[in-house]
Amino acid sequence: MSTKRSEVDDARGAGGAAARQSDGPEKMPKTEMRESNWTPEQRAEYLHRRRGRNFLLLGALAGFCLLIYAIALVKLHEYGQLW
């Protein structure tokens, strides 16, 4: 059970850490928080949302890298220096 709980906590991230603190070490997680109790629809929805967030983050990071690259090109080309 402790292994399962640790997996659930990993999935929760920071929010899970806070919940774990308030629950106390001996308490079981609330029923609705247990991943094993999720319906297939809930799990699919969770994965769908996580995928959406991950793609957003990927897009933001890729865009950021491209922007820095473009700024470097413009700066070096037009001004001969980056800073």
For residue 3, the minimal CB distance to another protein (Å) is 18
For residue 80, the minimal CB distance to another protein (Å) is 14
How far is Cα 68 from Cα 53, in angstroms, rounded to an integer?
22
For another protein, give the closer residue by CB, 1 or 50: 50
| Residue ranges binding another protein (CB under 8 A) | 8, 11-16, 18-19, 32-33, 35, 41-42, 45-46, 49-50, 52-53, 55-56, 64, 67-68, 70-71, 73-74, 78, 82-83
For another protein, give the closer residue by CB, 28 or 68: 68
For residue 66, the minimal CB distance to another protein (Å) is 10
The token pair at 44 is 């699919």
Contact 36, 4 (CB under 8 A): yes
Largest CA distance in the chain: 64
Question: DSSP states of 10-46 as a string?
Answer: HHHTHHHHHHHHHH-SSSPPPGGG-GGG--HHHHHHH
